[in-house]
Structure 1
Amino acid sequence: MKFSEFFHAWLHESYYKNAVSIGKNGDFFTAVSVGNLFGTLLAKHFLDLIDKKVLKLPLELVEIGANEGYLSRDFLAALLEFRPEIFSKLSFFIIEPHEKLRNLQKKTLEGVEFTHKRSLKECHFENAFFFCNELFDSFTCELIDDDKMAFIKDFKLVFEPMEAKLKEKCEILNLKKGELSLELEEFFKDLDKASKKFIFASFDYGVFNPQQFSIRIYQKHEVFNPFEITLKDFFGKSDLTYNVNFNQIQQLIKEHD
């Protein structure tokens, strides 16, 4: 199978589906894991956009991929402290495909009125503020090595000639070696259709002009190289991630204006 299919099976059919913990007791930390500062700063940024009339009320607040729901909790708590009167003009949504994570989010946000959506395809917003943290690195990717792409055979990485369409995309991005996400392209298409007007705030780690593989595994805060371990031992039981290709993000933003 293609590496992207293996990636999907690993993360979305196993790892995320089981509602893994993030933080000290999980496999990795995020900015949200260590306190409420991140959510508070995001709330200040959101209010600044309103004050500058970049965003206009009423609007929909939408977090994509909230995991336990801590970022939304901190964000909403800060809004309640800074400007409680704004809540009458806000509707809150979380996009989450995994049932166990939806249940965790309901528990974390107990007392908060919000609506779950399974995907952007279900959404038809008028005026939205989307936000997400470390979302793009969860999108399936292909591993590119010159004119070859990665496949998985018996839980081993092998490289074979890539498809012509994928080769064209790599040439446009001048990508010789690294990761490329076709799922990211579909996400931008769905985002474009999900709301008539929107601001999208995303936080992720990545690089411009990748020159090497960044694909890696996190298990109990240790980092493992997929090329050096037995993949079967880690499959679905640890986090699989990579550096987002910012060249691709930049290109997609331009394509969708």
Structure 2
Amino acid sequence: MRFSDYMHEWLYGKEGYYASYHPIGKKGDFYTAVSTSKFFGGTIAKHIIARIDEGFLRPDSLICEIGAHHGYLLADIIEFIHTLRPQLLQTLRFGIVERFEALREAQKTYFDESFGNAIALEHYGDLSELNERTAFFIANEIFDAFGCELFYKGKIGRVENHKIIFDLDDPSISALAEKYRQDRGEIAIGYDSFAEAMKGSAERFEFMSFDYGELDARSDFSIRVYQNHQVFPLFDEALNLAEAFGKTDITYDVNFTHVKAAYEAQGIACTQYATQLVALIEMGILDLLAILKEHVSDEVYTQELEKVKILITPTLMGERFKMIRFVKE
């Protein structure tokens, strides 16, 4: 089978990695910004409130996370909205786009434990189920989980008995490789249909996403497997694909120019591309820390400050992760 189909089965098949719940953080295979600090979601909450004050988002907008895993990020956003502008919880709606029933149940349980009857969590299987007036979409590390083709010197990869063989021709993939100046590397599949589905989901929306990658594709393979906080390049001889299949996370660096092109083809403007460091500071993460300092002990403040430093320090997550933001007016 083509590698894109193999990766899809690896992550989303019946026995795929994302088909069931896996912990993130110390007990999981990897860390994310969400598992690092609640102030990641808190900063996004502050931005949402600012967009409501500016009049772009209505007070009754849908705040929707795509690919929420456990639901921690959306819950953190709700918690900070309650702290910063509690009356908005009476009008805003909150939802998650999630295809897997097992993850839906985990998210519902977490929200019930966190908020009881105060928040009515809405679930959707796909963006096509939405028809909103205004919405704010948020996703963390979603574009790196789209299937991709592996391209090497004019050929794309297929998988036979968990072995990758480069011997297939596909003019459309070759055209993308030429467009992005790659003689080898990953070519993502599905960005165009995703952007098209989001376009039809709301009359007006903002979509913010965080992921690792660059604005330009590097002509090399970045695809890798994460297991117990260890990283294995896909072509590492020490990696047994048959054993790793479906039991580990597989990912690659995002070509953000490809993401931009998919949305711009739908007439949706890219309004910002920035490092996570710049994005979080511009949205007010330091202001939130200043508020915290006034209300907690020095010990608690120092603990939270150290977590935030991981998010914004250039040598940690600050420069490696990027934020991209799209707006449909």
| TM-score of the superposed pair, with normalisation by structure 1 | 0.96
CA contact (8 A) 2:158 2:168 kept: no
In the TM superposition, 1:46-195 aligns within 5 A as 46-110=48-112, 111=116, 112-195=119-202
Taking only aligned residues, the RMSD between alpha carbons, in angstroms, comes to 1.2
Q: Relative CO higher for 1 or 2, CA cutoff 8 Å, sep ≥ 6? A: 1
CA contact (8 A) 2:173 2:187 kept: no
Where does the alignment leave 5 or more consecutive residues of structure 2 unmatched?
268-329
How many Å separate the matches in 2 of 1:49 and 1:162?
46
Q: Which amino acid aligns with 1:98?
A: F
CA contact (8 A) 2:97 2:126 kept: yes
Q: CA deviation at 1:196?
A: 1.3
Q: CA deviation at 1:83?
A: 0.3
Note if 1:222 corresponds to 2:230: yes
- Residue in 2 that maps onto 1:8: 8
Q: Which has the larger radius of gyration?
A: 2
Q: CA deviation at 1:178?
A: 1.5
SS at match of 2:70: coil
Which stretch of the first structure deviates more once superposed, 3-12 or 138-147? Answer: 138-147
Structure 1 segments (4+ residues) deviating >4 Å: none
- Residue in 1 that maps onto 2:219: 211
- Residue in 1 that maps onto 2:305: none
CA contact (8 A) 2:69 2:107 kept: yes
How many Å separate the matches in 2 of 1:114 and 1:100?
16
- Output one character per residue of 1:50-84: Cα deviation in whole Å (capped at 9) or x when no partner: 22223233211111011001001110000001001
How many Å separate the matches in 1 of 2:265 and 2:177?
16
Work out the number of aligned pairs and report it: 257
How many Å separate the matches in 2 of 1:145 and 1:54?
44
How many Å separate the matches in 2 of 1:170 and 1:212?
12
Q: CA deviation at 1:48?
A: 1.6
SS at match of 1:227: coil
How many Å separate the matches in 2 of 1:224 and 1:70?
27
| TM-score of the superposed pair, with normalisation by structure 2 | 0.76
